[in-house]
Structure 1
Amino acid sequence: MAKIEIYTTPWCGYCARAKALLEKKGAAYEETDVMEDAGKRGEMRERSRRTTVPQIFINGQHVGGSDELAALEQAGKLDALLAQPG
């Protein structure tokens, strides 16, 4: 199974949507709350070059946010990414 990392904040609807899709797929993920951790937020910005949450990485590859994750699912490409060993 793939190694999935997701940077989130509490009360973020897009974060909840992305996590729900991953859970529906049976995919385990590592969640990092960046709400009150400036160091982790800086890490997220450096890795993704973005400031918004969620930011999702699959096997170290940045796939984007909730909309990009949903687009991968709609295109039929998410299952293949999730099946790759991490």
Structure 2
Amino acid sequence: MKPIEIYTSPLCGFCHAAKRLLTQKGVGFTEIDVLRDPDRKPEMIQRADGRRTVPQIFIGETHVGGCDDLFELERSGKLDPLLAA
């Protein structure tokens, strides 16, 4: 399974929703809290093509985007194949 990284902030409801969906799917992920570790935020912005909001989700080398993007992949049936690849 590809490694999953999610850049988050503790007060972000969208971050919690994205993490909950991944947990329900039974996949592990690495959480990078940009509030606790602000030095990682520029890295997130660069990897996310300038996007500054959290969450920013990466599955392997694929930038999924934010919470809405993750849930759209789930609704369209594309999340499971991406996770399994």
**TM-score, normalised to structure 1's length?**
0.93
Structure 2: segments with no counterpart, 5+ residues: none
Pairwise mapping of residues 46-65 of structure 1 onto structure 2 (< 5 A)? 46-48=46-48, 49-65=50-66
Aligned length: 84
Structure 2 CA distance for aligned equivalents of residues 79 and 36 of structure 1: 30
Structure 1: segments with no counterpart, 5+ residues: none
Matched, 1:79 2:72: no
SS at match of 2:51: coil
Structure 1 CA distance for aligned equivalents of residues 38 and 18 of structure 2: 22
Root-mean-square deviation (CA, aligned residues, Å) is 0.8
User: Match for 2:4: what amino acid?
Assistant: I
Structure 1 CA distance for aligned equivalents of residues 59 and 3 of structure 2: 6
Pairwise mapping of residues 1-86 of structure 1 onto structure 2 (< 5 A)? 1-48=1-48, 49-84=50-85
Structure 2 CA distance for aligned equivalents of residues 47 and 83 of structure 1: 22
Moved over 2 A (4+): none
**TM-score, normalised to structure 2's length?**
0.94
User: Match for 1:52: what amino acid?
Assistant: T
